[in-house]
A = this chain, B = another copy of it.
Amino acid sequence: MQKRMLAAMLPVGQSDQPVRWQQQKSAQTRLRMIIAAMDCLVAGGYGGLTTQQVAERTGISRGAMHHHFPTRLELVTAVIDHVFYERMRLFLEDYLSELGRSTEGELVEIATAAHWRSVQTREYAAYLELAVAARTDPELQQFFEPVARRYDEVWISEMIESFPQWQAQWETMKLANDLAMVAHMGLLLNRPVMGEDRIDRVNALLSRVLRGLYQS
Contacts and interface: CB of A to CB of B under 8 A. Distances in A.
Contact of A45 (B132, B182, B198): B132
Interface in A129-165: 129, 131-137, 145, 148-149, 152
Interface stretch (A7-15, A70-78, A93-101, A187-195): A187-195
Interface in A28-60: 42-48
Interface stretch (A16-24, A61-69, A109-117, A173-181): A173-181
A42 B179 CA distance: 26
A202 interface: yes
Contacts of A47: 45-47
Given A45-B132, A136-B129, A186-B184, A178 B201 contact: yes
A191 to B, nearest CB: 9
A48 B192 contact: no
A183 interface: yes
Nearest to A134: B192
A107 interface: no
A108 interface: no
A181 B42 CA distance: 24
Given A44-B136, A183-B183, A185-B186, A175 B202 contact: yes
B194 A190 contact: no
Interface of A: 42-48, 128-129, 131-137, 145, 148-149, 152, 174-175, 178-179, 181-187, 189-190, 192-194, 198, 201-202, 205-206, 209, 213
